[in-house]
Amino acid sequence: MKNIIILITIILIAVSFTGCNKTINNEKLCINADTFKDRIHEAKQYCKHAGINQKFCILIDMSVHSGKDRMFVYSFEKGEIIDSALCSHGCGNAPWGGDETKTDPIFSNVADSHSSSLGKYLIKNRGGSSFGIGVNYRLHGLETTNSNANKRDIVLHSWKHVSDTPVYPNGTPEGWGCPAISNDMMKILDKKLKTTTKPVLLWIFN
């Protein structure tokens, strides 16, 4: 009996670390690292070969409904997701601030497309923002699918309209292409990003 109790405790702790105890109407609102273990492996190898931060990275799975957690902070050191959050995507031709594309966002690397771009980015310069907590981080696209990110002023920032908790079946309000997160989540990330001496990988995929 004692061994069973210990096993259950370990399982519960593991679930809490992945953030996957969020549900609405018994529907799971987040995922664990095993769901994209191949991408985690690729991210780890990329960071190693590129000589960038190997402590953590940020993964954004745009195939997930925008009302659910789809931004994941993955710790290479712990081998697990240490934070998850809602994340906005670009509205494209849909109305700004709506959620019309909550299940099927359109991606583009074209200026003024108001769409998000897929691919790997480096999180670099910290700057001021008129949104959220007043902080943003410049995103530098590393692939042909997001090479115009810097020219398009694509940044990681917070937005007061992004919730701290899942809003499913509603979607997260859509902006003009930046990955926008809640104010509280930005405070958490800002604290981590300010302490790193090397650029951090942010990978948006679908």
Fold classification of 31-205 is L,D-transpeptidase catalytic domain-like (2.40.440)
pLDDT at res. 15:
40
Provide the percentage of residues in the chain whose pLDDT is more than 70. Answer: 84
* Nearest one of 74, 94, 93, 76 to 84, comparing CA atoms: 74
Residue closest to 122 by CA, chosen among 69, 45, 38, 53? 53
Cβ count within 10 A of residue 182: 24
pLDDT tens digits along 70-112: 999 999 999 999 999 999 999 999 999 999 999 999 999 999 9
Report the distance separating Cα 34 and Cα 17, nearest Å. Answer: 13
Every domain of the chain and the residues it spans = 31-205
Peptide bond into 179 cis (omega under 30): no
